[in-house]
Amino acid sequence: MVWIARRSLLRRSCSPLVHTVMYEPRVLEHKRTGRALEPEKDHTRSVSLLEQKRKVVSSSIDVPQARKSEEEVDMDKVTAAMVLTSLSTSPLVRSPPVKVSEGLNGSWKDGGFTPSSYSSSGYWSWSAPSDQSNPSTPSPPLSADSFKPFRMPSLSGPPDDIIDEHDGNSLLFDEPIPRKRKNSMKVMFKCLWKNCGKVLSTAAGIQRHIRTVHLGRNCDSECSDGEEDFYYTEIKLNTDSVADGLSSLSPVSPSVLSPLPGLDQRQPDGTNGAKSENSTTTPLSRSAPSALYLVHTDHAYQATAPVTIPSASSTGFTPSSSSFSISWQSPPTHTRSCAHHTHAHTELQCAFRKSRGEGKKCRKVYGMENRDMWCTACRWKKACQRFVD
DNA sequence: GTTGCCGGGTG
DNA sequence: CACCCGGCAAC
């Protein structure tokens, strides 16, 4: 959800990678030295003050110039290193998306950045509260872009995304992060390959299992050619009541959706698929080993689905539009997930519906005329709490 | 038909 | 959350 939007922004803003590096040597200098920038002073200082300063320190002008060329050399190195790093990075996103923002904030702070210096364009303000202490120094979008490449080494996710989206071979949904679920739901992942049914606690684990056991691959995701089918399903276990019954859940039993809301919602025109909300099955799910499952797969063309949103950047993609994608992704997903959970739960309870209580219940004991003497559960037509079997 | 009780609706 | 009820399945 949020991370999709963030990724969108990242891709949009980081495309001219080299250029943004070259345009802002100050940032590099700051990053290298770790000294805190003084953006307000630099930006707001009046012309007269600058000219006065020139007069005073005119003799030292050569020093920064010499340092600048030196910086350019360093920038080339850094740029090359960054490109190489990005190219050599696995296309799979391993870190939880939410870490993106954390990483950003962290790197800002670690590097001595203050949001007021470069986020004043409002470019990122939608995703993180920024300390815009000096709104009188609006930075152009370029400056907002400029520091991102230097953040990248501290990030594990977004740089990969950038590369992914450039080569079009994205596997962005390596592991859908299971949301924190209420009702003590435990999420397991069950392999759907025939005669397997292995259940693992993490999507990465089940993918590794499928890759090694069923696909015969020994290497990790780096070897993925983007054509792997990871037929597994997410099983939500209600650890409160039905954990035991579900532990032996067969593939025929109803299951729940894979939490990939954006899979089908890609529209050919690049818009988000809010209108295709009702469509929950993917083309792959139809060819899944079990027709009753909605299967989590890692096909590249599926994984790229949400990232098509930023493709609209050329036609005016803005942070506001990304917040729109958040709004349509999150709530329907949750609702649908709950609905499926309820459905699964219902059928399970139908399968494991406990037999009728043998003992007498309030109704029998007290009779209809003494209904007020019943336990509340009996009065509410619930399972009797007084005469528990 | 009676009984127990689950799921869902309502306030 | 309390409260109520439709409806289902077992009896």
Query: For residue A34, what pLDDT is reported?
Result: 34
Measure CA to C1' and name the residue nearest C4: A380
Q: A275 to each of A140, A338, A344, how far by Cα in Å?
A: 35, 20, 26
Query: For residue A229, what pLDDT is reported?
Result: 53
Q: A299 to each of A124, A178, A284, how far by Cα in Å?
A: 31, 19, 9
The answer to whether the CB of A99 falls within 8 A of the CB of A159 is: no
* A358: CB within 7 A of chain C nucleic strand: no
Domain boundaries, chain A: 2-167, 185-351, 357-389
Closest CA to A224 of A213, A233, A214, A211: A211
pLDDT tens, A335-389? 333 333 333 433 334 344 556 666 778 888 888 888 888 888 888 888 888 887 6
Distance from CA(A355) to C1'(B8), angstroms, rounded: 22
Which residues, in sequence order, are CB contacts of A337 under 8 Å at separation 6+? A256, A257, A259
State yes or no: pLDDT of A5 exceeds 50. no
pLDDT tens, A301-320? 233 333 333 333 333 333 33
- Region A203-229: what's the mean pLDDT? 64
pLDDT tens, A10-35? 333 333 333 333 333 333 333 333 33
CA A376 from chain center: how many Å? 45
State yes or no: pLDDT of A204 exceeds 70. yes
User: Six-digit token pair at A181?
Assistant: 């679920």
Distance from CA(A381) to C1'(C5), angstroms, rounded: 8
Provide the residue type at A271 as one letter.
T
State yes or no: pLDDT of A60 exceeds 70. no
Q: How far apart are CA A186 and CA A200, in angstroms?
A: 11
Query: For residue A369, what pLDDT is reported?
Result: 81
Which residue is listed with tokens 């340092």? A67
User: Which residues make beta-bridge pairs with A190?
Assistant: A199, A233
Banded model confidence at residue A203, pLDDT cuts 50, 70, 90: confident
State yes or no: pLDDT of A139 exceeds 80. no
The answer to whether the CB of A147 falls within 8 A of the CB of A201 is: no
Query: For residue A231, what pLDDT is reported?
Result: 62
Count of other CB atoms within 10 angstroms of residue A245: 15
Q: Per-residue DSSP letters for A72-108?
A: HHHHHHHHHHHHHHHHHS-SS--S-THHHHHHHHHHH
DSSP A214: I
CA A94 from chain center: how many Å? 10
pLDDT tens, A257-311? 333 333 333 333 333 333 333 333 333 333 333 333 333 333 322 333 333 333 3
* A372: CB within 7 A of chain C nucleic strand: no
* A353: CB within 7 A of chain C nucleic strand: yes
User: Six-digit token pair at A12?
Assistant: 């949009």
Banded model confidence at residue A190, pLDDT cuts 50, 70, 90: confident
* A275: CB within 7 A of chain C nucleic strand: no
Provide the residue type at A275 as one letter.
K
More confidently predicted of A356 and A139: A356
